[in-house]
Amino acid sequence: MPMLRKTIAVDRPPEEVFDYLTRVEHHREWSPKAWRVEGRPGPLTGGARFTSYGRIPGDKDHCNEVEVTECTPPSRIAWAATEKEGRFVSTFVLTPDGSGTKVQRTFEYPHPRGFIRAIFPLISATIVKPNFNKGLDMLQQRLEGGNGRKP
């Protein structure tokens, strides 16, 4: 299974970072592309479900049914979306780092099928990985008040 992984350091305690990540309605604030959620106000808990809509090539309103598969405050949260292409899993591991937090995000996704599989290394290098990295950079900025306010 292909995977992306990146760690950022955030100048906020793990409890605050975890709380922010579990409030899925805030995810649009650090998504590099248009994104919205339905059916899940408030903090996420294990087994919680929500519907997200995002943008992917060829589908400007791509729907995902998502389930929280792990929730261990304040150190770990993961969710999975299952689509016709397979299962997409996002995992966040938070570790204390002085007065702040190291946030490691892992994103696992299925191998593409058909023609896309042959060109996917190019797509991954030019679209998927840059958006993944940009999202984490935006998360860091948001958590540290880079937009003028704290979460």
- CA dihedral 23→28→31→37, nearest 10 degrees, is 80
What is the arithmetic mean of pLDDT over 119-135? Answer: 92
CATH number of the structural domain 3-143 = 3.30.530.20
Q: What is the pLDDT of residue 116?
A: 86
- Among residues 64, 66, 70, the alpha carbon closest in space to that of 80 is found at 66
pLDDT range class, residue 46, cuts 50, 70, 90: very high
CA 41 to CA 99: how far, in whole Å?
Answer: 29
What is the arithmetic mean of pLDDT over 49-71? Answer: 88
pLDDT range class, residue 149, cuts 50, 70, 90: very low
Q: State the pTM of this model.
A: 0.90
Residue 120, pLDDT above cutoff 60: yes
